[in-house]
Amino acid sequence: MSDSTKIGRTLLHTRRRMSDESFITLLVASVAVGLFLFASILVPNFFQLQNMLNLVTNNWAVISLGVGVTFLLVSGNFDLSVGGIVALSGVLAVWFSQSAGGGSALSTGLGFPYWLAVIGALGGALAIGALNALFVVRFRIPSIIVTLGTMMLARGFAQVITQGSQRNTNLPDVFGMLGNLTVFGASVKLPVVLMVILLVIAVFIEKKTVFGRLTYWIGANAVAARLSGIDKDRHVTYLYLFSSAIAGIVGILLASEFKSGYSNRGTLMEFDALVIALLGGVAIAGGFGSVVGMFFGALILAVVTSAATGLVLSPDWQYILKAIAVFVAILTQTWALARRNR
């Protein structure tokens, strides 16, 4: 083969077409921007820098959870336990930190130093993740059932520890630090910064590492992945641990922000995390989707709900708007992909 034909061939084959994934991400991003502009026309004072920032910063918890949930969905698995884990790890962090020997049961904790309490809370979160992995990977029970069960289990533990309400007394001062720390003057809270870092790391893992690619291979065809030498069980286990660790950290930060461990914290967050992933074009069949898409999906949801608030619609509208957004998103994405690949 002469050099010239080789070059010609190289050019021919590397002529790259935008992938479906980038296409969908772009679609989702343009919808997010379009909705924002549209809302700016309808809603007075919507078009402001602070408002744009708020759309992201108010949703740091769900977006962070969305990262783990997106990875799992791409690998072909659900994780509905993240909301429960948020409650559990927050409650654990509080319980471990509360000084021993308080006035009542709910004000008496284990008196651990804060760092140990955080590690303990994270351990609790990882235990739920490990349980997810055990049931999904080892017993081969559908992940939606398993994670519904562990969602109840995690929240159940939180409720038992808080006796169905909350623990917020007898906490060391250091407990409220992490969640309320601000950086860049006083404008951005630490959890938001952590979310940004998490997003950057997640995009890097997804696009640039073998780990990320393994996730797509497993989700696209688990049988072929196994016959290509991929240890699917181990990988899915890692993903569940990863997702539960994120949820654990979110729970610890929220507990710190509110200086309380509340057993109903994070209720429905698992559904919101799933919803933003779906809005962002992640396919529940696996093998398709991206963290960036999920992020823009979160923006769509944020724009829709905050515009509704701005229009003085009753907050009850958010459920209907969420439903319509997902419905339209799913139909549009299916339609756009079918058209593009016709």
Q: Least CB distance from residue 309 to another protein, whole Å? A: 13
Residues in contact with 306: Cβ distance below 8 Å, sequence separation at least 6, in sequence order: 39, 46, 51, 54, 55
Interaction between residue 288 and another protein (CB under 8 A): yes
Residues in contact with 29: Cβ distance below 8 Å, sequence separation at least 6, in sequence order: 292, 296
Round to whole Å and give the CA distance between 197 and 178: 15
Q: Which of 99, 108, 159, 180 binds another protein (CB under 8 A)?
A: 159
Interaction between residue 306 and another protein (CB under 8 A): no
b/e map 74-88, b = 16+ CB within 10 Å: bbbbbbbbbbbbbbb
**Burial group, residue 9, by CB count within 10 angstroms (0-12, 13-18, 19+):** exposed
Cβ closer to another protein: 16 or 339?
16
Stretch that binds another protein, among 4-12, 47-55, 182-190, 252-260 (CB under 8 A): 4-12
Contact 36, 303 (CB under 8 A): yes
Q: Least CB distance from residue 220 to another protein, whole Å? A: 4
Complete DSSP assignment for 307-320: HHHHTT--TTHHHH
Interaction between residue 201 and another protein (CB under 8 A): no
- Applying CB under 8 A, the site for another protein has a residue count of 81
Of residues 248 through 277, those in contact with another protein by CB under 8 A are: 263, 271, 274-275
Handedness of CA 121, 122, 125, 131 (dihedral sign): negative
Q: Between helices 232-258 and 114-133, what is the axis angle to 10°?
A: 140
Of residues 206 through 245, those in contact with another protein by CB under 8 A are: 207-214, 216-217, 220-221, 223-231
Q: Which of 63, 151, 247, 300 binds another protein (CB under 8 A)?
A: 151
Q: Least CB distance from residue 230 to another protein, whole Å? A: 7
**Burial group, residue 332, by CB count within 10 angstroms (0-12, 13-18, 19+):** middle
Interaction between residue 47 and another protein (CB under 8 A): no
Cβ closer to another protein: 193 or 313?
313
Interaction between residue 100 and another protein (CB under 8 A): no
Q: Which of 2, 15, 184, 339 binds another protein (CB under 8 A)?
A: 15
Of residues 23 through 42, those in contact with another protein by CB under 8 A are: none
Distance of CA 127 to the CA centre of its chain: 18
Q: Least CB distance from residue 173 to another protein, whole Å? A: 29
